[in-house]
Amino acid sequence: MYRVRWALPLLIAVTAACSSPGTAIAPSRAPLADGAAISVRPITIVAAKILSPMELRGLVAKPFIVVRSESGEQRIRQVMISADGVEALRVESALDGSLRLIAKSGVALEGGGLSESAAIARALRHLVRLGLEMPGGGPGVRSAAGRTLVNWEREVRGVPVPGDGTRVVLNESGELVGVAVEESPLAAPPARVARADAALRAAAALVPSGALVDWGAELAWVLPTEGAGEGSGQRTPRRLAWCVGGVLRDGATFELQLDAGNLALLGWDVAP
């Protein structure tokens, strides 16, 4: 449903960015937004923090390009290439200079493996070295394809923002493979948040006959869907919503997202 964790797809995407010079997380180029100012950290500064002098030898920085991420955010992409044209490092930043993606290529698949605590400690060390904001809360740790992913989900006012967060990808010896940071724009929360039981009653009134609202209501920052009568682009501000789930008569599960203030329908999701 809406709150499905997408740590594994992110791991695959970062790994692809690290290993495929011609493959981009957001391959499309885009003109710079009107009035947008560029203020980014030069890739050479990032490279000096995460690459050894031997790794830096012979690398050349290419001119930056403007791209859009999969979430629709305009970014400045910088890359460093070796003498034979192979991409060694990619850095993407928001237009305000905030780092969004760091991807190293050629990081070995080490054996041995990291414990969960060691992976978290190593990930925090890399974030400190890069001068990135320390995420709050406890991260999730998982392994796939010879990589370890340490994932901090973003929360605002104690409410999760699905898909947002800070993710650090390591190899199994703790060497940095990549960092990805996602921060969606958020609308102002309502002045008064409706009660959970009111959200359940509102959801029950919206579902078809025979459907059962059988999950509790949970708050989340959601993206309104097209059918809700609002813009639904990836950069549309997310709204604070009560998420209420249940089962339709045919056994399919559903989730409704209701505005946390006035309980208007913002979106829905149905799965067989």
Task: Specify burial of residue 60 (Cβ count, 10 A radius: 0-12, 13-18, 19+).
Answer: exposed
| Residue written as token pair 């969960």 | 116
| Residue written as token pair 């947002």 | 164
**Domains held by the chain: number:** 2
The sheet carrying 253-259 orders its strands as 218-222, 239-247, 253-259, 265-271
**DSSP-derived secondary structure letter, 132:** P
Evaluate whether residue 68 is within a structural domain. yes
Residues 123 and 15 in one domain: yes
Are 134 and 127 contacting, i.e. CB atoms less than 8 angstroms apart? Answer: yes
Prediction pTM value: 0.78
Residues 122 and 205 in one domain: no
pLDDT tens per residue, range 196-252: 999 999 999 999 888 999 878 999 999 998 655 555 566 789 999 999 999 998 889
Which pairing describes strands 99-104 and 87-94: parallel, antiparallel, or unpaired? antiparallel
Residues 172 and 253 in one domain: no
Evaluate whether residue 226 is within a structural domain. yes
Pick the closest to residue 259 from 242, 237, 238 (CA basis).
Answer: 242
Residues 161 and 209 in one domain: no
* Residue % of the chain over a pLDDT of 90: 65
CA–CA dist 173, 113 (Å, integer): 6
Q: Which residue range forms the structural domain that includes residue 241?
A: 196-271
> If residue 70 lies in a helix (H) or strand (E), which one and from where to where?
none
Strand partners, 254: 246, 270
Residues 56 and 89 in one domain: yes
Evaluate whether residue 229 is within a structural domain. yes
Q: What is the pLDDT of residue 203?
A: 94
| Banded model confidence at residue 272, pLDDT cuts 50, 70, 90 | confident
| Banded model confidence at residue 112, pLDDT cuts 50, 70, 90 | low
Residues 178 and 99 in one domain: yes
Evaluate whether residue 162 is within a structural domain. yes
| Banded model confidence at residue 37, pLDDT cuts 50, 70, 90 | low
222 Cβ contact list (under 8 Å, min separation 6): 2, 162, 238, 239, 241, 243, 257, 266, 267
Residues 26 and 126 in one domain: yes
pLDDT tens per residue, range 12-36: 445 444 433 333 333 334 455 444 5
Residues 68 and 167 in one domain: yes
Evaluate whether residue 190 is within a structural domain. no
| Banded model confidence at residue 175, pLDDT cuts 50, 70, 90 | very high
| Banded model confidence at residue 7, pLDDT cuts 50, 70, 90 | very low
| Residue written as token pair 């999760």 | 160
Q: What is the pLDDT of residue 271?
A: 83
Q: Does the pLDDT at position 82 exceed 50? A: yes
Residues 86 and 203 in one domain: no
Residues 159 and 26 in one domain: yes
